[in-house]
Amino acid sequence: MRIPSLAALALGLAVLGLAGCGERQSAAPAGRAASAARLRLAVIPKGANQVFWKAVHAGAVKAAAELGVEVLWKGPLKEDDRESQIRVVEDFITRGVDGIVLAPLDDVALRPAVNEAVRARLPVVIMDSPLSGTNYVSFVATDNEEGGRRAARHLAALLKGEGRVIVFRFLEGSASTEQRVAGFLDELRKTPGLEVVSASQRSGATAEVAYQNAENLLAPFKAGGTLKVDGIFCPNEFTTFAMLRALQDGGLAGKVKFVGFDSSEMLVAALRKGELHGLVLQDPIQMGYLAVKTLVAHLRGEPVPARIDTGATVATPANMGDPTIRALLEPDYRRWLGEE
């Protein structure tokens, strides 16, 4: 993908790294109309380190460059830090931005902060995970339940309709991953030969805790160097990587059918080696792009859809070389964030 000249100019002028929770500022190109350049939008992700959120950030920067607006990117460092995310929302309200794009860490806990933004006459677009209530402009996200269903259909096909399955959940309150698990379990029930033998273990918030909890989930099913389950599903990048590590360290990688969600360099390598057998992919660049674009359209008085589905695709070892799949497996976020 080639960067348009205006986008390149925006990048050259504007990506500034600040301390704390990682605020980054993307300013409008100099040649834009003054009225558009005055729009300052806060974009608040769930976390900072995952490839998924870097790609969402890239999409937001891309939209800012095209539309001539300023994007202020800031979120919590950890995906369980609800209080930190609430403080970020409140800080942007105090600073007087023109609107907010938010990926809520919790579908209930973030509602008061969003209500506060609305009372301050700041429109809010929700992305990635739903939020309880309806006082936001639009919801831009993957159809997470359908993503879970796609994972279930793929795993059922891999197992030829028979076997024992375990699920490794993410944090409680994460609506997007809960919807994926719900869709997965509902779809799997359509195949009577598949039995879910565990679906209650959660990851925890840090990489090491997630790894230990993945080990704890596997432990009751280990016997004589083999694993007495046939299939595994993990609903996001974080849980997928933790489970992959546990399988690799136990000498079990590739010996059980394993379907995860989202991608990273390490997950792509595992897919290539046959240690992963499927990854349900979102389009995070498109998600960030459409969320900012939708908020700007609303601020300019244009009608916007209440719900925008950014799509989901299953990558496999067989199709990962397809250019469309490869672009989702390895989103080209670095050029938009000035990391090349």
25 bridge partner residues: 16, 72
76 in a domain, yes or no? yes
CATH code for position 17 = 3.40.50.2300
Query: Does residue 34 have a pLDDT over 70?
Result: no
Q: Is residue 323 part of a domain?
A: no
* pLDDT tops 80 at residue 340: no
In a domain, 316, yes or no: no
- Asked if residue 301 is part of any domain, the answer here is yes
Contact yes or no for 159/257 (Cβ under 8 A): yes
pLDDT grade for 20, boundaries at 50, 70 and 90: very low
Per-residue pLDDT, 11? 41
Q: What is the pLDDT of residues 226-250, one digit of tens each?
A: 899 999 999 999 999 999 999 999 9
Among 24, 25, 26, 32, CA closest to 6? 32
Query: Which ranges of the chain does DSSP label H, i.e. alpha helix?
Result: 5-14, 34-37, 51-67, 82-95, 111-119, 144-158, 175-188, 207-218, 237-249, 265-273, 284-299, 323-329
- Based on the domain organization, do 91 and 11 belong to the same domain? yes
> Percentage of the chain with pLDDT > 90?
82
Summarize pLDDT for 284-326 with one digit per residue, the tens.
999 999 999 999 999 999 999 999 999 999 999 999 999 999 9
Token pair of 168 as six digits: 């490794």
The pLDDT assigned to 225 comes to 77
Report whether 58 contacts 292 (CB < 8 A).
no
Q: What is the pLDDT of residues 98-137, one digit of tens each?
A: 999 999 999 999 999 999 999 999 999 999 999 988 899 9
Q: Whole-angstrom Cα distance, residue 245 to residue 297?
A: 43
- Asked if the model's pLDDT at residue 13 lies above 80, the reply is no
Residue 27 lies in a domain: yes
Same domain, 181 and 192: yes
In a domain, 320, yes or no: no
Amino acid at 248: Q
Structural domain span for residue 232? 144-281
Q: Are residues 35 and 96 in the same domain?
A: yes
Nearest in space to 180 (alpha carbons), one of 319, 22, 312, 10: 312
CB 235 within 8 A of CB 169: yes
The whole-angstrom separation of Cα 218 and Cα 106 is: 28
319 assigned to some structural domain: no
pTM of the model: 0.85
pLDDT at site 25: 67
Tell whether 339 is covered by a domain.
no
Instruction: Please check whether residues 52 and 155 belong to one and the same domain.
Output: no
Domain count, the chain: 2
Co-location of 57 and 35 in the same domain:
yes
Residue 110 Cα distances to 24, 134, 337, angstroms: 22, 13, 27
pLDDT in tens, 43-94: 999 998 888 999 999 999 999 999 999 999 999 988 889 999 999 999 999 9
Distance CA 37, CA 289 (A): 17
Look at 6-15, 51-60, 100-109, 142-151 and tell me which has the smallest mean pLDDT: 6-15
Look at residue 78 in the predicted model and tell me its pLDDT: 85
**Other residues' Cβ atoms within 10 Å of the Cβ of residue 45:** 28
Q: What is the pLDDT, as a whole number, of residue 49?
A: 80
Cβ atoms 142, 114 nearer than 8 A = no
Q: Does 249 lie in the same domain as 161?
A: yes
- d(CA 215, CA 301) in angstroms, rounded, equals 52
Residue type, 251: G
